[in-house]
Amino acid sequence: MRIPLVAANWKMHKTRGEAASFVSAALPQLASAQGVEVVLCPPYTALETVGRLLSGSRVRLGAQNVHWERQGAYTGEVSAGMLADLGCAYVIVGHSERRRMFGDTDERVRRKVRAAFDAGLVPILCVGETLEERQAGQTESRVTAQVAEGTADLTAEEVGRLVVAYEPVWAIGTGQAASGEEAGRVNGVIREFLRQRFGAAADATRIQYGGSVTSRNAAEFLGQPEVDGALVGGASLDPEEFVTIVRAAGA
């Protein structure tokens, strides 16, 4: 039985004060939601503030990116060990905005996933096809290739703890979500691929959907047997909106 995971990706939004206001408004409802795990992924600058406010609650802290090396001359970068030290339990890896704008190749993503597990973090591995790839009939091959590379260094036990977020690039921040049925279908393709490569461990892997999830369409995705939660961008910035999505995922 997989417990769905709903993660808020705040991207480059919210100062420490704004992040604290969100947590005071939403924490009681988020912490009491049953049958769902909740993760907040603020920008690096608000991690410590949010972590302090979440401490002692069931809501977990996550980061939005990580470097693959443990330490060194990498100006502006942050290691997985540093994130663990701040109390992070999760880290988003390979988000399409990082792949598109900041040079995250499949190979870098593979190394980041490894670094996350090595530091005791659980990576949320983002995969998804572009509109051009979808129109060319390459959705399954692209997504499968990203999952293959992202998990290449993992053991079956790690794959069982991994979170994959299927996020079609054309659906992110556009208001044009996939249909629940299509999200469930692609998630099923991902699970089947993981099963073939890692065996029964893949039955425990949580595979989220992400891409223009809102309080209005959340139930359509979360009702799919192969959709184990959501990675939420824009709609996670508003406490009421995010709480409604979390409740839709819960028991």
* 37 counts as binding ligand PEP under rule CB under 6 A: no
The CB-nearest residue to ligand PEP is 233
Binding track, positions 42-81, relative to ligand PEP; x by CB under 6 A? ----------------------------------------
Closest approach, Cβ 124 to ligand PEP, in A, equals 9
Render the chain in DSSP notation, one character per residue.
Answer: -PPPEEEEE--S---HHHHHHHHHHHHHHHHH-SS-EEEEE--GGGHHHHHHHHTTSSPEEEES--BSSSSSS-TT--BHHHHHHTT--EEEES-HHHHHHS---HHHHHHHHHHHHHTTPEEEEEE---HHHHHTT-HHHHHHHHHHHHTTT--HHHHHH-EEEE--GGGTTTS-PPPHHHHHHHHHHHHHHHHHHHGGGGGT-EEEEESS--TTTHHHHHTSTT--EEEESGGGSSHHHHHHHHHHH--
Closest approach, Cβ 73 to ligand PEP, in A, equals 30
Considering 133, 149, 158, 167, which one is annotated as catalytic? 167
* 127 counts as binding ligand PEP under rule CB under 6 A: no
Closest approach, Cβ 209 to ligand PEP, in A, equals 9
Closest approach, Cβ 12 to ligand PEP, in A, equals 11
* 212 counts as binding ligand PEP under rule CB under 6 A: yes
**Count of C-beta atoms within a 10 Å radius of residue 248:** 22
Among 28, 120, 173, 199, binds ligand PEP (CB under 6 A): 173
Among 167, 182, 226, 228, binds ligand PEP (CB under 6 A): 167
User: Is 13 annotated in the active site?
Assistant: no
* 139 counts as binding ligand PEP under rule CB under 6 A: no
Chain center to CA of 101: 18
Q: Please answer whether residues 191 and 205 qualify as being in contact, where contact means their C-beta atoms are separated by less than 8 angstroms.
A: yes
* 210 counts as binding ligand PEP under rule CB under 6 A: yes
User: C-alpha dihedral over 224, 124, 36, 211, to 10 degrees?
Assistant: -50
Nearer to ligand PEP, 35 or 173 (CB): 173
* 183 counts as binding ligand PEP under rule CB under 6 A: no
Binding track, positions 93-112, relative to ligand PEP; x by CB under 6 A? --x-----------------
User: Is 67 annotated in the active site?
Assistant: no
How far apart CA 143 and CA 133 sit, in angstroms, is 10
Among 231, 243, 245, 249, binds ligand PEP (CB under 6 A): 231
**Residues designated as active site:** 95, 167
Residues lying near ligand PEP in the complex (CB under 6 A) are found at 9, 95, 167, 172-173, 210-213, 231-235
